[in-house]
Each structure stands twice: as C-alpha cells, then as structure tokens.
C-alpha cells in the first residue's frame, strides 16, 4: 500500500509545488512540525495546506473557518481518531483530502463528508477499518473521481453507497488476511481498479476474478514473487472484461516473466503494461513468443536486471518479435534493439529514455552492416533521449521502413557533417530533431516529404544558400537556436508556420518574408531586439498584424507581450509596440530634405525680407560708418599737419543740386545737428579773387572734400576743377581726404572721359549713396558725419563753438 499512498502524496505535492509557483501565498506547508492541533494562524488565502507527519488527534469545527479558499488538505501520517461532522463546513471548495495513515475506525461513520460535495480525490488507506462498509455520506460525493480505501473485510453490499458515483479510479489496499466476499466489487462504477498488495501478500482469487469482470482497467501493485495463481486465473478464465492490465513493482525471473507474457497473449486483454520490473535472471538464448494475439500494445518501463550475465540480444528478440501493433520500452538501460525475424505487424515503437546507439535495428554479417527489412509496416518511431550521434547513419538504419511517417529523434547528440548522403524512407512527414547538436547543414539531410519539422534547441546560426527543397514543409520550429535574421522561405515554398523564439535576432529583415507567400503564423518572441532604425519595418509588421491590416495576413504570435527592446538601455524591457522610431531619423534623403527645405525657405525669406527692407544698404552704411570710425581712431593726424585747416570739409556740387545742399546737406552737417564746419563757396569764396584761387584756397583750408555726384556734376566745368585740385590734396593728405556722395545713380558710361580721376575714385573708394527712403536718412547722415569728423586746430574749433 505504500505505493498507493506514495502516488497520492507525490501527486498532491507536485500539484502543490506547481501552484505554489503561481500562488505563493496559497500554499502552506506545516508538515513535520510536531503539531497537536490545527494551527489557528492559517492564512485566509491558503488553498493548499499540508499538515502531514504531525500528532494531530482530532479535527474540530472551526479549525478551517478562516480558510474559505481551501482546495487541498493533506492530513496523512497523524494520529487522527475523530473528525467532527462540521469540520469542513467552511471549506466549500475542498477538492483533495488525504487522511491516510491515521487511526480512523469506522468507514460507515464519516459524517464530515456531507460538507465535501466538491471533493474529487479522497484517500482513506492505512487506517484501522475492520469493514469496507461505506456510510450513506459517501453517496453525497457526486464529483468524486479517485477513492482509495483499505479494510480487513469486504462484503457484498459494502459499496452500496457509491453505486451512483462514477469514479475514474478505485484503489484498494489489501490488508493481511483479507476476507473478501465474491461479487462485492460488482456494485462499483469505476473505470480503473488499483489493487495494492502488502509486504506479505496473499493472492485473493475471488477478488481478482471480480476485478477482471468489472473493470476496464486493472493495475496490480507490489505483486508477490510467485505469480502462478494469477497466471492460472488468466489462463483458465473464459470471460475477461478488462482491456488494460498494468503490473507495477514486481520482481521475477526471466523464465517466469516470458511464460506469463505468453499466457497473457492468449487472453482477450488488449493493452498490457509493466512498470518497475526487476529481473533476477537473464536469458542466454532466444525465447519463443506466440504467433498470434489479441494484445494490441505492450508497455515496459524501468526494467532492470540483477544478473550480470545473459544475452541482451535474446531479451530484445523476445520483445521485438511479439505480434502486437505497439511496443513501448522506456527508462531502461538498453544499448541495442534488434530487427524482427520476419515482417512485423508493428505500427508504433517507442524506445525513449534508453541508451540506444547508431547501430539500432542493424546487424553485422561478413563485416558488413545489414539494415532492418522487417519493419515495413512501422508508422511511428520514438527514439527520444538516447545515445544517437550521426544523423546520416540513422537515416540509413531507417531507410527500409517504407511506411514510417512520424519520427522523434529529439534529445540525442545528433550532428551532421555533410560528408555522407542521407537515405531516409520516402514517407516521413513529421520529424522531431529538437535538442541535438545540429547546424545549418542539416537542411541538406532531411526527408524530402517532411511536412512538420522541429529543430528546436540546436546550433543553427544560418541557413545555407543552397539547401534541398522541402516542397511539402508546412511547419518549421527553429526556437532556441542562434539565428541572427529571418531565414526566409527558400526551399520551403508552402511554409505556413514558423517558430523563431529565443534566437539572436536583433533586427529581423522583413523583406526576407517576401518569398513566404503562404506564411500565416510567425513567432519571433523573446529575441534581443535592438530598437534602432533597422527594426522599424519589423515593428510595423507587428502593429499591422495586431490590427489585422497586414497585406501578407501573417499572425505574429505573442505580440506584443513577448517582444522587448534590449538596446538602447533607455528602452530596455519596453515592448516594441510602444517604441516610436520616426522615419525622418532613418531616411537620409528625407532627413536632408527636412533640414535643407526649411533652411532654403528661411534663406529665401531672409533674402526677400532683406530685399524688401533694403538690408544690404543698411549693412553697407553701417560698414562704412564702422570703417570711418576705425580710420579716425587709427589715423590720428599730427597737430603740425593740421596747421591752416579751418574746415572739416569743402563741399563741391552742381548748381542744379543746390537745393539739396542747402536744405539737407548743410543743416545735417553744421550747427547742433552735425557740429561740423563746412566750407561753402557762397559763404567763403573771397570776392576779388579768381574762382580758381578760391577753389585752391578752400580746398587747402579743409580737412576733406565732399563731392555731391550727379548727372549735373559731371557736366559742370567748375566741378571738374574742384575735383582736380582735391585729387592733388588726396595725394598729399591720404585716401580719406575725398568723400564721394552719390546723389543719384551715375553709370560709368555717363561720366565723360575727362573725369578719369572720378572713375578711378569710384572704382577704388566706397561712396555714400543718397537714399530716397526717408527711413534711411538718419543712418546716411551718421555715416557722412563719421567720415568727416576730425579735430580742428584750437582757433578753428573756438570759432566753430562761437
């Protein structure tokens, strides 16, 4: 019975541990704490409570009043003698209850069960029940699926209370010296019966006979070494309703086991399983098997031997030559499996978790490897978790299995070096190669008709440019490899589903999917995405897929929860759907247009505004004013050079421009407005002297000469003389002694040839232009005054002040 209780405990523990990860506050472990009563501090959120291996003697009403959410309670291995009928009044969600290994005495008085109508699993084994008579309260357990019991006596009507309860599994712990009344189990409505024998078992013929008549599935646990009674019963019984027979934890000789197996093959049982089998002897030669049987499947798990001698080939021959449709041998240290001696009816073979090598099914004759020819009907082969190493060699071992469709070679050490051609059977459609050491070269060693291909957890970093064409491939699993970009569909024209989770894709190239016209499902979650410009197209694909607007119709599995940035650091762990990378950052042409466009527009605007406001003129005037000030500071005239200088400037102009001179020029240069002393011929020419003499005298008395240029100026003879004398002064006093004021535009072609000096001055010196815009007049006068400003000798300055 230890096995039954252990199964209940392990199941409960596994469920609790799994749920503990999801609900850390819901699992409470108070086992092995020397408790004498139920703790009062159980949290309200408790769903799974373990109080096993304590010293609790009774359960009282209110013990679980605060644990309304309780779903599983383990009270095994205490000293329970009494349970109050109202104990579980406050736990309506209770589904699993383990009361095994206690001191309860009466199965007909378990009134607490009246408040456990949602119970699914109940374990009452290893108590002190004398009779299996179940009380009426058991009839309330309408949701019960698994019931484990144990008593010394089982009588005809003991199970009357559960006739309406449709159990999945009834487990019976057979006490020593059990008294069983034939026919007692016929009232039980259960699919499966588990019978666990004690450490000193005694076979109960009537119990086993009823079990084979009532239950579709029967499991016999902890069988005695002598199985002759069971074998005799199976051989003699004409009517057996059991279709699935399972034997767990048995020690037997090879000779007895094969005899029992051959007897079983002649019964109506269709599925036979053995678990935890220990063989005390091993065969030295082949053992004959029956030729025909109704058994469809044979399962053997955890088969071991204590005998170091014998032939493993003989063992393999016994199993592989059985006339069944399905054989499963798992978790068994088997190094080799032979080929059937004749064409086998086998459709399914499962040799997972063994130690098989690349020479499986083959034999050596005359130093040549002979492949197996007698598994031509095999459709499914599972070689998961063995010691297979060469994919090319395995393809040769299987090449004659013409009906093989489903092949599992996962969790081995398979590699493919590309040196040998692969020779697969022609009808393989589903191939599992996950958890091996395969690289991209594997795509040149695959069955041509493959429809579903699983290459998860390998070492594939890139798909070769030239690969074999898999025209039938619909689903490809490349999760947990080393791919750095999408593989595309070269060679897979009809690929429908592609898995690429946990690879090294940082910026998948969406254009690689252009040749995937049939692709509908894509999973690229949990990759190290770099959220830069290269990822924009992939983010766009995900957003369109989420909104179902993608023209390709691709569904992106796990979007957006499984897609996060790893770089840049500021965006780490941010889902891609909220990342915004503007196109302007990524499109050089658009970026240039965005920058240059406004710049050019701004430049045009500035030029237009400058033209509108005549800014160049202002700049020119300011420049002239600045240069004039600079010359004035730099070129200080020595006092001796200013001897005889009485005026700041002599004004030369045409009589046609006299109004401008009198009304504008002189008022802005002289008096308070300008503070300059101007020599004007109307005021300062001395009567009696010739005009030439007055011109020369005035020019010599002035620091500078101002010429008001216009079309009339170049036509005046006297203006020509004044310009001539001023130019001579220009040679002696420097380039700043002549100031030209352009009253109106004066093209070069209008200047007579005799005014060569004027042309030369206009080409070499900056001149001031009279602006017609009144807003510019103030700046004009400031420039002109700055050009004429200088310090006159003291006498002239005094006269100016007066």
Instruction: Name the strand (E) or helix (H) holding 430.
Output: strand 430-432
State the pTM of this model: 0.72
Answer whether 139's CB lies under 8 Å from 116's CB: no
Measured between alpha carbons, how far is 631 from 637 in angstroms, rounded to an integer?
Answer: 11
| CA-CA-CA-CA dihedral for 376, 381, 387, 391, to nearest 10 | 70
Q: What is the number of other CB atoms lying within 10 angstroms of the CB of residue 239?
A: 8
Instruction: Name the strand (E) or helix (H) holding 797.
Output: helix 794-801
Answer whether 696's CB lies under 8 Å from 723's CB: no
SS3 call for 782: helix
pLDDT of residue 728: 67
pLDDT of residue 24: 59
Buried b (16+ CB within 10 A) or exposed e, 118-148: ebbbbbbbbbebeebbbeebbbbbeebbbbb
Locate 596 and state its tokens.
């240059």
pLDDT of residue 19: 42
pLDDT of residue 791: 72
Report the candidate in 72, 77, 74 with the shortest Cα–Cα distance to residue 127.
Answer: 77
Answer whether 262's CB lies under 8 Å from 235's CB: no
Locate 721 and state its tokens.
């003389």
**Residues whose CB falls within 8 Å of the CB of residue 7, separated by 6 or more in sequence, listed in order:** none
Parts of the chain with a pLDDT under 70: 1-25, 176, 199-203, 225-226, 238, 549-552, 588-591, 613-615, 617-618, 620-643, 721, 728-736, 754, 764-766, 794-802
Instruction: Find the largest Cα–Cα distance for the chain.
Output: 171
Convert the pLDDT of each residue in 112-156 to its tens digit.
999 999 999 999 999 999 999 999 999 999 999 999 999 989 999
Residue whose structure tokens are 């690429």 = 500
Angle at 477 between CA 475 and CA 480, to 5 degrees: 170
pLDDT of residue 357: 95
Measured between alpha carbons, how far is 510 from 523 in angstroms, rounded to an integer?
Answer: 13
Locate 450 and state its tokens.
């493959």
Convert the pLDDT of each residue in 28-39 to its tens digit.
999 999 999 999
Residue whose structure tokens are 């596994």 = 14
Measured between alpha carbons, how far is 227 from 220 in angstroms, rounded to an integer?
Answer: 11
SS3 call for 704: strand
Angle at 579 between CA 577 and CA 584, to 5 degrees: 125
pLDDT of residue 621: 58
For 151, 169, 183, 209, the CA distances from 215, given in Å and listed in that order, are 20, 10, 13, 11
Residue whose structure tokens are 């130093």 = 367
pLDDT of residue 8: 45
């Amino acid at each position: 019975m230890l096995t039954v209780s252990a199964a209940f405990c392990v199941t409960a523990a596994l469920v609790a541990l799994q749920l503990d990860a999801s609900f850390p506050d819901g699992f409470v472990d108070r086992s092995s704490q020397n408790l004498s009563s139920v703790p009062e501090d159980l949290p309200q959120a408790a769903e799974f409570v373990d109080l096993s291996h304590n010293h609790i003697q009774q359960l009282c009403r209110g013990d679980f009043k605060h644990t309304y959410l309780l779903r599983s309670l383990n009270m095994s291995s205490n000293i329970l003698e009494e349970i109050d009928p109202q104990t579980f009044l406050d736990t309506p969600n209770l589904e699993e209850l383990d009361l095994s290994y206690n001191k309860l005495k009466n199965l007909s008085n378990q009134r607490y069960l009246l408040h456990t109508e949602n119970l699914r699993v109940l374990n009452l084994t290893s108590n002190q029940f004398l009779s299996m008579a179940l009380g009426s309260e058991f009839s309330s357990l309408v949701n019960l699926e698994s019931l484990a019991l144990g008593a010394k006596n089982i009588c005809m009507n003991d199970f009357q209370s559960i006739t309406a309860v449709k159990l999945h599994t009834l487990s019976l712990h057979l006490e020593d010296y059990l008294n069983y009344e034939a026919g007692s189990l016929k009232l039980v409505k259960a699919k499966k019966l588990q019978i666990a024998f004690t450490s000193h078992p005694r076979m109960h013929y009537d119990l086993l006979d009823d079990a084979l008549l009532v239950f579709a599935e029967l499991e016999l646990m902890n069988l005695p070494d002598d199985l002759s009674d069971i074998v005799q019963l199976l051989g003699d019984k004409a009517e057996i309703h059991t279709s699935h027979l399972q034997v767990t934890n048995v020690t037997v000789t090879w000779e007895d086991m094969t005899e029992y197996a051959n007897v079983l093959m002649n019964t109506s049982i269709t599925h036979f399983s053995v678990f935890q089998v220990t063989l005390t002897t091993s065969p030295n030669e082949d053992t004959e098997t029956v030729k025909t049987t109704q058994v469809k499947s044979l399962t053997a798990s955890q088969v071991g031997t204590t005998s170091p001698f014998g032939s493993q080939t003989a063992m393999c021959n016994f199993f592989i030559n059985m006339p069944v449709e399905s054989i499963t041998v798992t978790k068994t240290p088997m190094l080799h499996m032979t080929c059937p001696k004749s064409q086998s009816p086998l459709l399914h073979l499962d040799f997972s978790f063994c130690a098989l090598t690349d020479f499986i099914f083959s034999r050596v004759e005359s130093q040549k490897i002979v492949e197996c020819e007698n598994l031509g009907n095999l459709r499914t082969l599972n070689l998961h978790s063995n010691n297979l190493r060469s994919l090319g060699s395995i393809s040769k071992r299987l090449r004659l299995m013409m009906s093989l469709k489903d092949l599992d070679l996962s969790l081995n050490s398979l590699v493919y070096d590309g040196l040998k051609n692969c020779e697969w059977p022609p009808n393989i459609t589903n191939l599992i190669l996950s958890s091996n050491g395969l690289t991209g070269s594997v795509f040149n060693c695959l069955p041509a008709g493959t429809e579903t291909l699983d290459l998860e957890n390998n070492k594939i970093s890139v798909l070769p440019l030239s690969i074999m064409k898999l025209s039938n491939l619909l689903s490809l699993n490349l999760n947990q490899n080393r791919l750095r970009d999408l593989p595309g569909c070269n060679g897979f024209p009809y690929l429908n589903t592609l898995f690429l989770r946990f690879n090294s894709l940082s910026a998948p190239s969406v254009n690689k999917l252009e040749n995937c016209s049939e692709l509908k499902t894509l999973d690229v979650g949990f990759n190290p995405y770099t959220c830069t410009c290269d990822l924009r197209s992939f983010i766009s694909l995900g957003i369109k897929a989420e909104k179902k607007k993608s023209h390709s119709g691709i569904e992106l599995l796990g979007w957006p929860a499984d897609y996060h940035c790893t770089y840049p650091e500021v965006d780490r762990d941010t889902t891609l759907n909220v990342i915004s990378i503007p196109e302007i950052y990524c499109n050089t042409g658009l970026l240039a247009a965005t920058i240059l466009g406004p710049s050019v527009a701004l430049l045009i605007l500035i030029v237009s505004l400058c033209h509108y406001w005549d800014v160049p003129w202002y700049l020119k005037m300011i420049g002239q004013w600045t240069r004039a000030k600079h010359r004035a500071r730099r070129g200080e005239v020595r006092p001796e050079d200013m001897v005889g200088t009485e005026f700041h400037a002599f004004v030369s102009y045409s009589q046609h421009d006299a109004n401008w001179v009198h009304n504008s020029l002189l008022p802005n240069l002289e008096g308070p407005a300008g503070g300059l002393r101007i020599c004007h011929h109307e005021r300062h020419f001395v009567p009696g002297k010739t005009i030439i003499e007055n011109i020369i005298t005035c020019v010599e008395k002035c620091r500078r000469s101002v010429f008001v240029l216009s079309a009339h100026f170049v036509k005046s003879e006297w203006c020509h003389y004044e310009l001539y004398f001023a130019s001579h002064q220009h040679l002696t006093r420097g380039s700043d002694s002549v100031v030209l004021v352009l009253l109106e535009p004066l093209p070069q072609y209008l200047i007579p040839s005799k005014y060569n000096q004027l042309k030369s001055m206009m080409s070499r010196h900056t001149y001031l232009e009279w602006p017609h815009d009144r807003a510019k007049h103030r700046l004009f006068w400031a420039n002109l005054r700055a050009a004429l400003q200088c310090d006159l000798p003291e006498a002239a300055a005094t006269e100016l002040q007066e």
